[in-house]
Every structure is written in structure tokens, then in C-alpha cells.
């Protein structure tokens, strides 16, 4: 077909050059003359096209009246009478004409949309890759030992957040100690529950006196050394001092709490300034006028939105609130962090692309992390898990401490752990028990069931030397039964305890104590010795034979003889707590 090379061909649909001849009933090829040319001009009479025209215009021999072959349709123009395109005069479709298949508008729209979406996806991919490269370049990571090897999505997560007082960044040298390698000035152990419904953030005082373990450390020149431990050191010296790296702080926290830390995140002074500016400021409330010349914090009583230098002054002040101790400063910092979390998770931030970019940029520039989360993709995966926790179910607490008894009255500069309150808190975290009421109905039902179980622990207890128990090892840890037996006999006076060896069912999840109805007093005595939770007690309902021993089967929750099994259901009285979802005025 050469229609596209003819004058005016752009107005002719090639498919319409085949038309029905009403005289013969056949379809014939009909080519329209060029615009302005007389019919048949430019074609010799007798040419094939001329003969075809002659046949079409001649009446049939039968004498039937001649009818014109319909003219070609224009692809772009409508008929002169304004009728629909492709129709004859009067706007009706000619009888017998084969209807041409029109391109479906929906299909055409899909093609156009697909092209646009494809372009957008490519553009976004390029943009996302550029952002990834940018943020990845911001992030600083350190290869340390002492962690768990990485968080897992189906397990609880422990993150150590360290605020160092190292004077790095613009303007920070003026705070003093500009050549110091820094300390663990503000340290929070952030425990996220396995089901991601709640989190507990425990602040560890920097002036806490405790043992610091031996710490393998990688130096900046690539060499390695072991920094010797110390029996009594300030906690803040677990970082920076004597070449200790964040891995040493992680080891110290594990030794203190019994919880293995999965990852650390370390920030300096600049983090507070840049992050608060990125979210447009953090709201704080003060119950009185504040004028602290040391931190340069000056605020009138009431609510304020702080960012930059003002925000840093707020979290650094020790003399504006409470008894002007580090413990009072911890409370202020917890209130500030709660407000900051609320601001970060607010719709005001999450729906603002500019704020989100500024926040991501500031965060990645401020953070130093372990190599396990040393890329944006790994950090994003961790953030996704942590981000599942509702702020109303994040509880801040301060490690329970006592004044250091070795220091003279009036000169108390350091503190020591209060084991009576700290141990139950650590047990709660180890057993993944929330400090926050998460699911009230579920908790109420569970409490009712627990009340019945707890009743098993109430009542008279047998004397230690009357407790008969056979200890089986189902923990998977070699020697656990013998270790427990020795501890019971030597430390607790349970002379009648015996070693049953390995349990027929190895790798049992929870420790259990089976006993007869007439052995309840012995069961309560053993539970008190070992710190067994009521859930571990399994009464058989029948009396045991005379001198028959109870059956204690150690499970995977066994963490060493003398260590309580299972955490308490509520925190001890007097532990300082703050909720991330509630605003409190600093006093």
C-alpha cells in the first residue's frame, strides 16, 4: 500500500480503502483522489484503476438503479453535516459495512499509565539509591566483640544506647575536656519484648561503682589488645578510658544485668542538637523558672519547644532540677526522650517529607553503631522491629542504687547497685515481662490464672533438711544437675537432694517441680530456695509414698545454681519509672 505517500494520505484510514460495492456485493479497493484534483485526473483511461472506476460507476446489465459506492472515511475529520465520524450522511452507519475494530480506550490508557509508572519507578529507584548511598556514607560503624552477633526478628532485642561526652563536632570543644576520649556519660539499655508490644529502657548511672571485665579491644591502627578489668570502677569509664571501646560497655552491662546486648548505638553532643532541629523542636515542661549558668539553660516556668543548643543544655543540666545529682538529671533526660519519641512518631513528622529527610540525615550523621547494623539496610531492619512498639508501652526506669557505703557521709559521689530491687527488675527483663500494662483484658485473665497458681506458694514450708528432691537435667547444659545438687546441699542445707542425671526428655523449655499432695510444704520450701515461679509447680494431686522424692527437672531457663528462675510479675516498689507517652514537668 502506498497510501501514506499520497497527498492528503494523513487523512485516510488505509483500512477504509476497501469498501462494499452494493451493485456486486463484493469489497473493492477504492483510492481517493488528491485534494483539488478532478476525478480520474492523472490516471490514463484504461489503466487498471481507471477500469475499476468505470465498472463501479456503470449500472449493472440487469437495469437496476445505480448506487454510488460509499466514499472513504476520514481518520481525523467529521462529515460536513457534523455527524459522527465514519458514518454516511445523516450520521447512520451504511448498511452492510463491516464495522472496523476500534482501539479500546482502556487498553490505550493502560499502555500510557504503564509507561508513566515505569518512568516513575525508574526515577524513584535512582533517587532511592542516591539516598541510600548518601545515608550509608553518613553512618559510622565500629567492629566490636561482646555482643550477641545480631538481633533476631522472633526474639527479644537488647540495644545499648550510649551518649558519650567526647567533645567532637562544631562548637562542642567549649564545653571543656576537649582532648578527652570521652566516657559513657548517658547509657540506656533498651529492651524490646519478643512480641514487640512493649519496651523497657533502663538508665544506668554514670557514677555507679561496679566491676568492669577484661575487654578485648581493636585499636584505630588495626592492632588488638585486652584492656584488663577492674573490680571497682565508675561505670562511665567502661568507654573511652584506657582504650576501651563500646564493646567493653556492652560486656559490662551484660555482667551487671545478665542480658546479652545485641547492638549498640552511640551519639555525641551534636546528636541532640541536630536531631531536635530536624523534627522542629521537642516540647518540654518546667515547673519553675530555670537559670543554670553551668549548662547555660535559662527557661521561664511553663512549656517550651527546644532545639539545638537549648535542647543540649536541657539534657546536660545537673543543677536545675531535683537534688542536682546525676540521678535527677537522668529523670530529666527520660522525660526529654519520651517527648522526642512522641514527636518523631507524630503525624506532623511522618507526613512531612522534608522533616523525614532531615531526621534521617541528622540521625545517620550522629550515629556510631556496631558493624552488625553498620549499613542503612540493616539499621532499617532493626528500626522496623523497634518501631512496632507503641510509645504508650515504652517505660523508662532507672537502675535501683544505694549511696556508696565506702564513702564518708556528706561526700557521697558514687553509688552501688541495690540488689534487693535491681535483681527483680533484671529478672523481669530476662523473662520478657513488661513494666507497662499492654493488653488489659489479656492481662486480667492471666492474673486470675496466676492467682490460683500463686496460691500454691502460700502456706507452711518444710525445713531444708526435710526436703527430698531428685534433680534431673533437661536444660541441655552439661553438669547442671550436679551443680544444682551441690548448691542445694552446701548452700541451702537440703541434705536429702539427689542427682537423677539427664532427663529422658532433653532440651525442656521450662523448669518444673512435680510433687504429691502431701509434699506441698517441701515444694514451697524448694521454690523459695531456688526462686521458682508458681508456674513451675506441678502438683500430681495424689499423695506420694513415704520417703518418695519430688522430681525437679531443670529446663532451658536454668541459668546457674542460685539464680532465680522466671521473673516476677511486677516491679519492686520504689523503682523510678516514666512513661514515654506522658508529659511530665521537670521539677
Q: Count CB atoms within 10 A of the CB of residue 320.
A: 25
Domain 444-554 fold? Alpha-Beta Plaits (3.30.70)
142: nearest Cα among 63, 217, 253:
217
Dist CA 490 CA 482 (whole Å)? 12
**C-beta neighbour count of 224 within 10 angstroms:** 9
Pairwise CA distance, residues 45 & 39, whole Å = 12
In whole angstroms, give the CA distance from residue 398 to residue 422. Answer: 10
Check: CB of residue 544 under 8 Å from CB of residue 514: no
Domain(s) of CATH 3.40.630.190: residues in the chain = 140-435
> 125 Cβ partners below 8 Å, 6+ apart?
none
As a whole number of angstroms, the distance between CA 97 and CA 71 comes to 12
pLDDT the model gives residue 472? 96
pLDDT for 115 equals: 52
Specify whether the CB–CB gap between 295 and 313 falls below 8 A. Answer: yes
Q: Residue 78: its pLDDT value, please?
A: 44
Closest CA to 487 of 554, 437, 430: 554
| Distance (Å, whole) CA 188 – CA 415 | 17
The residue among 417, 253, 398, 264 whose CA lies nearest residue 335 is 398
Cell numbers for 385, please give them. 522491629
As a whole number of angstroms, the distance between CA 511 and CA 536 comes to 6
203 and 239 in contact (C-beta within 8 Å)? no
Alpha-carbon gap, residue 86 to 88, rounded angstroms: 7
Contact 461, 434 (CB under 8 A): no
In this prediction, residue 165 carries a pLDDT of 82
Nearest to 73 by CA among 56, 85, 81: 85
Q: How many CB atoms lie within 10 A of CB 30?
A: 18
CATH of the domain spanning 140-435: 3.40.630.190
Extract the C-alpha cell encoding 256: 551487671
Give CA–CA dist 265/572, Å, rounded.
29
Cβ–Cβ under 8 Å, residues 459 and 524: yes
Q: Is the dihedral of CA 570, 571, 576, 581 positive or negative?
A: negative
Backbone phi and psi for residue 93, each to the nearest 5 degrees, phi listed first: -70, 135
Tell me which residue of 189, 577, 261 sits closest to 393, measured CA to CA. Answer: 577
H or E stretch including 491?
Answer: helix 480-491
One-character DSSP codes across 314-376: HHH-SSSSTTSSHHHHHHHHHHHHHHHHHHHTSHHHHT-HHHHHHHHHHHHHH-EEEGGG-SH
- Taking the alpha carbons at both ends of the chain, their separation in whole angstroms is 92
Give the C-alpha separation, 373 to 150, whole Å.
8
Listed in order, the ranges of the chain carrying CATH 3.30.70.2390 are 444-554
* Whole-angstrom distance, CA of residue 403 vs CA of residue 407: 8
**CA torsion, ordered 305, 308, 312, 315, to nearest 10 deg:** 30
CB 196 within 8 A of CB 187: no
Query: pLDDT tens digits, the chain, 587 residues: what are they?
Result: 444 444 444 445 555 555 556 666 555 655 544 444 444 444 444 444 444 444 444 444 444 444 444 454 444 444 444 444 444 444 444 444 555 555 454 444 444 445 544 444 444 445 566 777 888 899 899 999 878 889 999 899 999 999 988 755 555 555 545 666 788 989 999 999 999 988 999 999 999 999 999 999 988 788 889 999 999 999 999 998 899 999 999 999 999 999 999 999 998 888 889 999 999 999 999 999 999 998 889 999 999 999 999 999 999 898 899 888 889 999 999 999 989 988 988 878 878 888 888 888 888 888 899 999 999 889 889 998 998 988 888 899 999 999 999 998 878 899 999 998 998 899 888 888 888 765 555 556 566 666 666 677 888 999 999 999 999 999 988 999 999 999 999 999 999 999 999 998 877 888 999 999 999 999 999 998 998 888 889 999 999 999 999 999 999 888 888 887 765 656 777 787 778 777 788 88
Whether 192 and 385 have beta carbons less than 8 Å apart is answered as yes
Amino acid at each position: 500500500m502506498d497510501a501514506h505517500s499520497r497527498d492528503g494520505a494523513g487523512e485516510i484510514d488505509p483500512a477504509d480503502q476497501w469498501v462494499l460495492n452494493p451493485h456486486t456485493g463484493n469489497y473493492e479497493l477504492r483510492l481517493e483522489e488528491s485534494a483539488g484534483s478532478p476525478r480520474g485526473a492523472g490516471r490514463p483511461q484504461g489503466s487498471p484503476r481507471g477500469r475499476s472506476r468505470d465498472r463501479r460507476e456503470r449500472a449493472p446489465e440487469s437495469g437496476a438503479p445505480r448506487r454510488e459506492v460509499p466514499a472513504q472515511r476520514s481518520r481525523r475529520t467529521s462529515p460536513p453535516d457534523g455527524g459522527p465520524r465514519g458514518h454516511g450522511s445523516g450520521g447512520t452507519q451504511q448498511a452492510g459495512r463491516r464495522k472496523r475494530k476500534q482501539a479500546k480506550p482502556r487498553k490505550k490508557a493502560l499502555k500510557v499509565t504503564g509507561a508513566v509508572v515505569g518512568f516513575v519507578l525508574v526515577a524513584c529507584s535512582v533517587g532511592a539509591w542516591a539516598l541510600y548511598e548518601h545515608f550509608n556514607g553518613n553512618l559510622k560503624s565500629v567492629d566490636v566483640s561482646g555482643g550477641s552477633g545480631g538481633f533476631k526478628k522472633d526474639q527479644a532485642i537488647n540495644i545499648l544506647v550510649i551518649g558519650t561526652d567526647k567533645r567532637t563536632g562544631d562548637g562542642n570543644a567549649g564545653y571543656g575536656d576537649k582532648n578527652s576520649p570521652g566516657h559513657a556519660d548517658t547509657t540506656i539499655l533498651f529492651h524490646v519484648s519478643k512480641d514487640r508490644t512493649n519496651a523497657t529502657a533502663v538508665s544506668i548511672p554514670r557514677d555507679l561503682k561496679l566491676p568492669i571485665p577484661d575487654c578485648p579491644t581493636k585499636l584505630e591502627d588495626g592492632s588488638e589488645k585486652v584492656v584488663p578489668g577492674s573490680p571497682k570502677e565508675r561505670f562511665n569509664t567502661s568507654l573511652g578510658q584506657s582504650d576501651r571501646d563500646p564493646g567493653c560497655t556492652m560486656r559490662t552491662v551484660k555482667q551487671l544485668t545478665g542480658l546479652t546486648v545485641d547492638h549498640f548505638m552511640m551519639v555525641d553532643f551534636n546528636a541532640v542538637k541536630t536531631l531536635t532541629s530536624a523534627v522542629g523542636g521537642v516540647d518540654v515542661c518546667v515547673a519553675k523558672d530555670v537559670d543554670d549558668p553551668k549548662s547555660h539553660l535559662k527557661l521561664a516556668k511553663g512549656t517550651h519547644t527546644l532545639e539545638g543548643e537549648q535542647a543540649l543544655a536541657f539534657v546536660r543540666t545537673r543543677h536545675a532540677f531535683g537534688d542536682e545529682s546525676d540521678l535527677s538529671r537522668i529523670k530529666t533526660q527520660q522525660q526529654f526522650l519520651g517527648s522526642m519519641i512522641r514527636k518523631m512518631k507524630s503525624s506532623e513528622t511522618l507526613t512531612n517529607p522534608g522533616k523525614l529527610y532531615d531526621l534521617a540525615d541528622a540521625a545517620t550523621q550522629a550515629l556510631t553503631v556496631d558493624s552488625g547494623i553498620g549499613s542503612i539496610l540493616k539499621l532499617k531492619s532493626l528500626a522496623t522491629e523497634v518501631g512496632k512498639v507503641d510509645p504508650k508501652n515504652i517505660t523508662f526506669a532507672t537502675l535501683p542504687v544505694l549511696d556508696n557505703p565506702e564513702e564518708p557521709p556528706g561526700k557521697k559521689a558514687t553509688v552501688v547497685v541495690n540488689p534487693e530491687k535491681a535483681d527483680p527488675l533484671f529478672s523481669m527483663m530476662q523473662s520478657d515481662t513488661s513494666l507497662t500494662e499492654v493488653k488489659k483484658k489479656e492481662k486480667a485473665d492471666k492474673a486470675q490464672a496466676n492467682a490460683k497458681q500463686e496460691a500454691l506458694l502460700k502456706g507452711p514450708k518444710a525445713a531444708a533438711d526435710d526436703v527430698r528432691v531428685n534433680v534431673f537435667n533437661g536444660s541441655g547444659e552439661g553438669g547442671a544437675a550436679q551443680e544444682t545438687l551441690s548448691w542445694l546441699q552446701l548452700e541451702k542445707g537440703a541434705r536429702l537432694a539427689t542427682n537423677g542425671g539427664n532427663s529422658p526428655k532433653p532440651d525442656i523449655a521450662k523448669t518444673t517441680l512435680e510433687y504429691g499432695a502431701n509434699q506441698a510444704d517441701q515444694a514451697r520450701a524448694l521454690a523459695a530456695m531456688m526462686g521458682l515461679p508458681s508456674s513451675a509447680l506441678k502438683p500430681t494431686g495424689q499423695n506420694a509414698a513415704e520417703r518418695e522424692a519430688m522430681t525437679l527437672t531443670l529446663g532451658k531457663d536454668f541459668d546457674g545454681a542460685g539464680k532465680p528462675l522466671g521473673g516476677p510479675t511486677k516491679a519492686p516498689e520504689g523503682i523510678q519509672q516514666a512513661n514515654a507517652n506522658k508529659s511530665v514537668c521537670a521539677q
